[in-house]
A and B are shown apart, each in its own frame.
Chain A
């Protein structure tokens, strides 16, 4: 029987325990890193002066596109906690919006992209109105159903060419520099998406989203207009994806349902965020680079298609089981995050 009991000691012990649980604040942000990175990326196309770097540019463009899309997805999936497995619906809407304008009026998607983004946002707002009423797993299922519905709709819509799609005119530029406009467009979109993601994270809006992702019921009772904020997050997350779709369509010179509406694209967006760290700013970027590098390696050694799907699935399983917070998130948890990755 323990009889040693000092009132003062107990009160002290309680205080210090509470303090320990409160945690410590973070150090300053390395703002020079993203700026330096941006500078490098802006100057990258200069290597086109030398021959044979076409593929590098293509890869860069592709990566930037996914950075934009996964950062965008992150706003809904990472910050708000609503996981959408059909987000490439907006990719498709943006692509078709600008693509059809291009086909009919010849105006380049590079100009109409922001409007494509807006169109996607509007649709997103509307869809969100319906689907955001569902929580958790039901929301995920509805997003897959949405993708299936969109696929059927676009496959059967004769105005946009149905399953065969529409061929788009090409820009008349020298092959050596042909990729450049699209590259810079994607760079711009990616930068905008990441910056937007950063600003949201540090705004009151972002705080509310995080509250929603932790416990929506409590957030609601705390007076947060969860309905509106969720829909806004949905709309914003659709915006950059739509813009990316617009540029991608013109870059490929054709728009077809099966380039936009395949589940692998949605899976990629999700996986990049999970791998990198959903809910962080740098996470999607890290995840995108890692996954694309992994994909390239895979395709180079094993050829593409089915094995690719298996590989993506396997990576997702491993990520979810062993790094649920992603690379950035796990490092941050263990307090081992290198400063150049701490963009939060």
Chain B
């Protein structure tokens, strides 16, 4: 029984991090209906920011989280302006847009690989290897702090969406872009800022990822499928769904990892993705008719 609870604790802690990783993806999809395959590489880019700040200046990754977030926010705005602004104008070609994000992912993969080579990196603040014990159970400190940090950021995001005027505009645009535009929302501006925020969230997640996982540029391909499974389980574009999906699947993967083997834990996400897409493609909270 204690084992059982232990696995759940580990799963939830990890799930919190996954939730943050997925939140930016969900936000961007909600507003722009873009499935951003480049999101995971942006997370890795954020991880590199934190990694280098740690190695060069000893800056704790949780402290450097806002820096990573801001850096990636700016990167997001630039990428949007260069690549997606034109596409956003023409509503069609949603598959082309996905390919575009794929191509952006490749570009960043290549850039990061050239700049930093493909060696596995990990930030190692002191707490990354320590753990807190409650009787028989333990939580790795690193994952605990990461989980708390994630939930804090997510809470801030939700507050932003619920209580600010811009958040109001984002929510309206997510529900019905055309209607929002006719109500006086500058949907172009909402799109670009939201994209920036989404990538900024990726950057923040990256700071946490830098000490929770080991990372290298090519790892983003794995995360695309993983994040997708979370987002699809929760329902594309629904933030609450993505969070729930992350917690559920991470816990499930933790069980698989313990009882079946670590190589198969990533499989959990991929298989879950297929199952969901077949059985209930709209996920837990999504809208029944998914217009691609």
Assess the A148–B110 pair: CB atoms within 8 A.
no
* Chain B 133-181 residues near chain A, CB threshold 8 A: none
1/0 per residue B96-123: CB within 8 Å of A? 1011101111111111011001100000
Assess the A317–B110 pair: CB atoms within 8 A.
no
**Chain A interface residue number, banded:** 35 or more
Assess the A148–B270 pair: CB atoms within 8 A.
yes
User: What is the CB-to-nearest-CB distance from A203 to chain B, in angstroms, rounded to a whole number?
Assistant: 24
Assess the A310–B107 pair: CB atoms within 8 A.
yes
**Given known contacts A83-B95, A136-B95, A144 and B225 CB-to-CB distance under 8 angstroms:** yes
Nearest B residue to A311, CB-CB? B110
Nearest A residue to B113, CB-CB? A306
Judge whether B80 is part of the interface by a CB distance below 8 angstroms: no
Judge whether B273 is part of the interface by a CB distance below 8 angstroms: yes
* Chain A 132-185 residues near chain B, CB threshold 8 A: 133-138, 140-142, 144-145, 148-149, 152, 155-156
User: What is the CB-to-nearest-CB distance from B277 to chain A, in angstroms, rounded to a whole number?
Assistant: 5
Assess the A142–B93 pair: CB atoms within 8 A.
no
**Given known contacts A320-B96, A321-B86, A136 and B292 CB-to-CB distance under 8 angstroms:** yes
- Of B100, B111, B224, which contacts A141 at CB under 8 A? B224
Residues of chain B contacted by A316 (CB below 8 angstroms): 99-100, 102-103, 106
Measured between alpha carbons, how far is A148 from B28 in the docked complex, in Å? 24
- Of B95, B109, B273, B281, which contacts A309 at CB under 8 A? B109
Assess the B274–A130 pair: CB atoms within 8 A.
yes
* Chain B 249-279 residues near chain A, CB threshold 8 A: 263-264, 266-267, 270-271, 273-274, 277-278
**Given known contacts A156-B263, A310-B114, A320 and B228 CB-to-CB distance under 8 angstroms:** no
Assess the B103–A137 pair: CB atoms within 8 A.
no
Residues of chain A contacted by B232 (CB below 8 angstroms): 138, 141
Nearest B residue to A150, CB-CB? B270
Residues of chain B contacted by A144 (CB below 8 angstroms): 37, 221, 224-225, 228
Residues of chain B contacted by A34 (CB below 8 angstroms): none
B residues contacting the other copy or chain, number (CB 8 A): 47
Assess the A134–B281 pair: CB atoms within 8 A.
yes
Judge whether B83 is part of the interface by a CB distance below 8 angstroms: yes
1/0 per residue A218-237: CB within 8 Å of B? 00000000000000000000
- Of A85, A133, A305, A313, which contacts B277 at CB under 8 A? A133
Assess the A141–B96 pair: CB atoms within 8 A.
no
Measured between alpha carbons, how far is A306 from B119 in the docked complex, in Å? 13
Measured between alpha carbons, how far is A317 from B101 in the docked complex, in Å? 9
Assess the B277–A142 pair: CB atoms within 8 A.
yes
User: What is the CB-to-nearest-CB distance from A186 to chain B, in angstroms, rounded to a whole number?
Assistant: 26
Residues of chain B contacted by A148 (CB below 8 angstroms): 221-222, 225, 266, 270
Nearest A residue to B220, CB-CB? A263
Assess the B86–A85 pair: CB atoms within 8 A.
no
- Of A136, A145, A309, A321, which contacts B100 at CB under 8 A? A321
Assess the A130–B278 pair: CB atoms within 8 A.
yes
Judge whether A190 is part of the interface by a CB distance below 8 angstroms: no
Residues of chain B contacted by A267 (CB below 8 angstroms): 102, 106
Nearest A residue to B273, CB-CB? A145
User: What is the CB-to-nearest-CB distance from A195 to chain B, in angstroms, rounded to a whole number?
Assistant: 27
Assess the A137–B35 pair: CB atoms within 8 A.
yes
Measured between alpha carbons, how far is A83 from B109 in the docked complex, in Å? 21
- Of B98, B110, B113, which contacts A137 at CB under 8 A? B98
**Given known contacts A140-B95, A313-B103, A316-B106, A145 and B263 CB-to-CB distance under 8 angstroms:** no
User: What is the CB-to-nearest-CB distance from A321 to chain B, in angstroms, rounded to a whole number?
Assistant: 6
Residues of chain B contacted by A145 (CB below 8 angstroms): 225, 228-229, 270, 273-274
Judge whether A324 is part of the interface by a CB distance below 8 angstroms: yes
Assess the A317–B113 pair: CB atoms within 8 A.
no
User: What is the CB-to-nearest-CB distance from B217 to chain A, in angstroms, rounded to a whole number?
Assistant: 8
Judge whether B94 is part of the interface by a CB distance below 8 angstroms: yes
Assess the A313–B225 pair: CB atoms within 8 A.
no
Residues of chain B contacted by A137 (CB below 8 angstroms): 35, 94-95, 98, 292
* Chain B 228-246 residues near chain A, CB threshold 8 A: 228-229, 232
20 interchain pairs, CB-CB under 8 A: A83-B99, A131-B277, A134-B277, A136-B98, A140-B35, A144-B221, A145-B225, A145-B270, A152-B264, A306-B109, A306-B111, A306-B113, A306-B217, A309-B110, A310-B110, A313-B104, A313-B110, A317-B100, A320-B99, A324-B96
Apart from A133-B277, A140-B35, what 10 extra A-B contacts exist at CB < 8 Å? A138-B281, A141-B37, A144-B37, A148-B225, A149-B267, A309-B113, A313-B110, A316-B99, A317-B104, A321-B87
- A residues at B contact (CB < 8 Å): 81, 83, 85, 130-131, 133-138, 140-142, 144-145, 148-149, 152, 155-156, 263, 267, 270, 274, 305-314, 316-317, 320-321, 324
| Nearest 8 CB-CB pairings of A with B | A310-B110, A313-B106, A136-B292, A306-B113, A316-B103, A313-B107, A309-B110, A145-B225
- B residues at A contact (CB < 8 Å): 35, 37, 83, 86-87, 93-96, 98-100, 102-111, 113-114, 117-118, 217, 221-222, 224-225, 228-229, 232, 263-264, 266-267, 270-271, 273-274, 277-278, 281, 290, 292
